[in-house]
Structure 1
Amino acid sequence: MTGIKFAWSALGGDPAAPVRVTTVPREGALQARLPVRELARACVGSCALAAAELAARRAGLAEVPGVRVDDGAVAAAFHSERHLLVDGRAPVGFAPLSRFWPTADGWVRTHANYAHHRARLLGALGMPANASVEAVAARLAERSAREVEETVCGAGGLAVALRTPEEWRAHEQAAEVSARPLVERERRSTAPTRVFAPLDPAAAALLPAAGLRVLDLTRVLAGPVATRTLGLLGADVLRLDAPQLPELPEQHADTGFGKRSATLDLGVDRAAFEELLASADVVVTGYRPGALDRYGLSPEALFARRPGLVVAQLSAWGAYGPWGGRRGFDSLVQVATGIAATEGSAAEPGALPAQALDHGTGYLLAAAVLRALTEQSYDGGGRWVRLALARTALWLTEGIRPAAATGAAYEGPQAWLAERDSPLGRLRYALPPVSFTGGPADWTRPPVPWGSDSAHWR
């Protein structure tokens, strides 16, 4: 429970509330050298508690419903992108150029799942678009890891040199990250108190986010996990993507439950976006810090136009410090922060058993939104919350502690997988791990094809 209490405190919650949480430990779930199971349990548990708290507020309940966090459900959900099947087809994993590479003095990891990231990587290395894995490996073997990192990142690509925990602690970005709380929270305006439509405590499922409109401006993986969770809890979630940047199909299917998907060019269709914003309750962004500012989507600009918003921002490295403007993904944050060296070694890097930084931060981000909504029901104001994968990594490596080895053995994800039909085909998928008494057990909406909805509220 220590991890849940810490996360709940970081979210600004009532210190007495975690007594409502019951955990079901399962030995062997998310097995790793670092306390991944405890991190995952804390992130999901605090999210479920935030959902239960808002449900109690809206339904007029005398106490917060009980929360149950089962390590089995959590482990299955943290592997959701691996468990997904579409008409029996398994998802495609990392692209050939997304991997660890030995360099002249160590290791570097690259990310090139998207075509534009692959093009930038090869361009930075001075290689043709059809370069083979073998040719790239030979080129990287001639260079130092830090040189590759700087060259590729300078070209807008994604590459990170392997660092030990000690090397990361000495880095200026690590100092900037450690100076921030796990969840950054601010009250940003004097908007009036939010008045919710009451929930019926006798309804088939308590949906604490029912009636709320969420603009989802996120990609890969933490942001979509957060908005997928808000969709589970009843929000009308509309994901918007630029038409020229299609999403990877399996990734979109995995994180598309509970939401709609539309395309909108912010540089052309500003009137359509402003119409959506005019009645939005929550805006969630997951692009590189500053990338959306030119479209008037900085927190300051959003609050100026819609003072009562909840604005939730997510980044890889944090929106500050020398790496504040860099792109990043879970796999790269693991490499930079010493996690890959800890799970393997400096000579042979490893990885966490799941993309736990992405999934964990996603549930924390959803929790921060839910807590902000609860706070607005008491004293109004716009609310701004911000999280970073690198800050979650710091909590994993230096904050949270492993729990005692107790509980039944984890025997696999089967009990927490389900099947259903969808516009994409027959799906096998991981059930949501966020669970509280009276709450939903599954999403009401399956994923839809990318960009298949209109850019309008229901």
Structure 2
Amino acid sequence: MTDIKFAWSALGGDPALASRVSTVERPGALEARLPVRELARACVGVCALAAAELGALRAGLAGVPAVRVDDGAVATAFVSERHLLIDGRAPVNFAPLSRFWRTGDGWVRTHANYPHHRARLLGALGLGGDASVEDVAALLAERSAHEVEDAVYGAGGLAVALRTAREWAAHAQGAAVAARPLVVRERPDAAPARVLPPVRTARTGAGAAPLLPAAGLRVLDLTRVIAGPVATRTLALLGAEVLRVDPPGLPELADQHADTGFGKRSAAVDLAADRKTFEELLAAADVVVTGYRPGALDRFGLSPEALAERRPGLVVAQLSAWGGGPWGGRRGFDSLVQVATGIAAIEGSDERPGALPAQALDHGTGYLLAAAVLRALTEQAHDGGSRVVRLALARTAAWLTGVGADGAGGAGAVTGTGGPDGPDGRDGAGAAYRRPDAWLGETDSAIGRLRYARSPVAFTGGPTDWTRPPGPWGADAPRWHRPND
């Protein structure tokens, strides 16, 4: 229970409630040198516990429902993008130029899944738009990794040089991340206590209605890629009305949107040209979740501080890659954070860097972000005040690498070695994790027949699946639901 207790404490939760969580261990799930399974289990466990806590409050229950975390469900959900099938077709998760490259003095990893990032990468390297993988490889083999990192980031692209955990700890950005709490929690004002209408408790029998802790709450989703959308996908599972809003000229990758769009609607709004529409959405929102790099939304008056000032009582959740510091304004993705923080070196070999068995920083931080929102709502019901919560992929990485193979240490490190550990609160080892079929679902949708990973967030009486599949990106009207829609 050590990891769940640490994460629950970081969220400000009552320590006594951690005993409500039990786990089903499955050897073989998310195997790695680092304790990825323990981190994933903890992130999902505290998310489910935060949901159960809020559900108990709103339903007037005498106690918080029990939470059960199954390693099989967690492992399946942490690679949901790999399990997705659309009319039988598997998505492509990484573009050809998103990969490791050998440089003259080491390794660098690039991210070029989006067309604009690919163009900036090639432009920074002085290559044309038709450059091949071989062209890029030949050029990078003659450059230093840090030189490539600086040049590509300077051009607005994404490239990160491979570092060990020790090198990252000595870096100014690594030091800034290490000094940051796992979950930054702020109360910027003394807005009145939130009045949450009661929700129904679960009925028994066929067709039972689940307990939905976030029912009736409106979540404005300004996130992209995986971590933020996983958080809002989870809030949608728990009953929230989630409206994702993107700029019309920057579409999300279609397969990525399909994986993380369950339970939500998706609209395109130009913040510069149609500010009135956005302000109307904001005026009726209870929660705003942002996933753009810090400062990117400030010019639109959408910093967490500005949002809370404009709408007292709002919960604002901010996700970033690097979490402030010298790299605070840089773009970043899970794969790049793994390379910077020493994870790729730990999971690799003398011949080549490695990677975690899942984009665990993305998925783990996504569940932590949802948990932080749920806990903020619970706290508001008791004490009032707007709430701002901030998480960063790099800080989740610091938690994971606190017991790194090269000796890097840190308070709050995830415990365990990736295998069963059996302390209090465990249900003991279950069957080995081999096939994920038990945690997959299928549904028809406007974008085709989908096979998908079910949510691993589970508590007694809670929901087991989303009520709506994803639709096409940007296809919904930019408005909140109205009666009889």
Q: Which residue is equivalent to 1:63?
A: 63
Whole-angstrom CA distance in 1 between matches of 2:308 and 2:167: 39
Matched to 1:323, the amino acid is: W
* Among 244, 248, 259, the residue aligned to 2:249: 244
* Among 446, 449, 452, the residue aligned to 1:426: 449
Q: Which residue is equivalent to 1:452?
A: 475
Q: Which residue is equivalent to 1:87?
A: 87
Whole-angstrom CA distance in 1 between matches of 2:351 and 2:153: 23
% identical aligned pairs: 77
Q: Which residue is equivalent to 1:327?
A: 331
Whether 1:379 aligns to 2:383 is yes
* Among 416, 419, 443, the residue aligned to 2:466: 443
2:318, 2:389 within 8 Å by CA — same for their partners in 1?
yes
Q: Report the secondary structure of 2:337's partner residue.
A: helix
2:202, 2:462 within 8 Å by CA — same for their partners in 1?
no
Matched to 2:478, the amino acid is: A
Whole-angstrom CA distance in 2 between matches of 1:163 and 1:379: 44
Whole-angstrom CA distance in 1 between matches of 2:394 and 2:350: 19
CA shift at 1:346, angstroms?
A: 5.4
Whether 1:209 aligns to 2:214 is yes
2:53, 2:64 within 8 Å by CA — same for their partners in 1?
yes
User: What stretches of structure 1 move > 4 A for 4+ residues in a row?
Assistant: none
Whether 1:353 aligns to 2:357 is yes
Q: Which residue is equivalent to 1:189?
A: 189
Q: Deviations over 1:292-340 (max 9, x none)?
A: 000000112111210110000000001x211011000000000000000
Q: Which residue is equivalent to 2:408?
A: none
Whole-angstrom CA distance in 1 between matches of 2:123 and 2:272: 26
Whole-angstrom CA distance in 2 between matches of 1:138 and 1:200: 62
Matched to 2:414, the amino acid is: I
Q: Which residue is equivalent to 1:152?
A: 152
Whole-angstrom CA distance in 1 between matches of 2:85 and 2:105: 40
Q: Which residue is equivalent to 1:30?
A: 30
Whether 1:270 aligns to 2:309 is no
1:162, 1:346 within 8 Å by CA — same for their partners in 2?
no
Calculate the TM-score normalised by the size of structure 1: 0.99
Q: Report the secondary structure of 2:366's partner residue.
A: helix
Q: Deviations over 1:322-369 (max 9, x none)?
A: 101100000000000000000003541000000000000000000000
2:84, 2:259 within 8 Å by CA — same for their partners in 1?
yes
CA shift at 1:188, angstroms?
A: 1.2
Q: Which residue is equivalent to 2:261?
A: 256
Q: Report the secondary structure of 2:444's partner residue.
A: strand
Matched to 2:466, the amino acid is: W
Deviates more, 1:417-426 or 1:55-64: 417-426
Q: Which residue is equivalent to 2:297?
A: 292
Whole-angstrom CA distance in 2 between matches of 1:446 and 1:427: 9
Matched to 1:115, the amino acid is: P
Matched to 1:224, the amino acid is: P
Q: Which residue is equivalent to 2:410?
A: none
Whole-angstrom CA distance in 2 between matches of 1:278 and 1:176: 35
Calculate the TM-score normalised by the size of structure 2: 0.93
Q: How many residues align?
A: 457
Whole-angstrom CA distance in 1 between matches of 2:276 and 2:437: 46
Q: Report the secondary structure of 1:422's partner residue.
A: coil
Q: Which residue is equivalent to 1:17?
A: 17
Q: Which residue is equivalent to 2:45?
A: 45
Matched to 2:479, the amino acid is: H
CA shift at 1:411, angstroms?
A: 2.1
State the superposition RMSD in angstroms. 0.9
Residues 108, 288 of structure 1: alpha-carbon distance in 2 compared, 3 angstrom cutoff: same
Whole-angstrom CA distance in 1 between matches of 2:463 and 2:107: 44
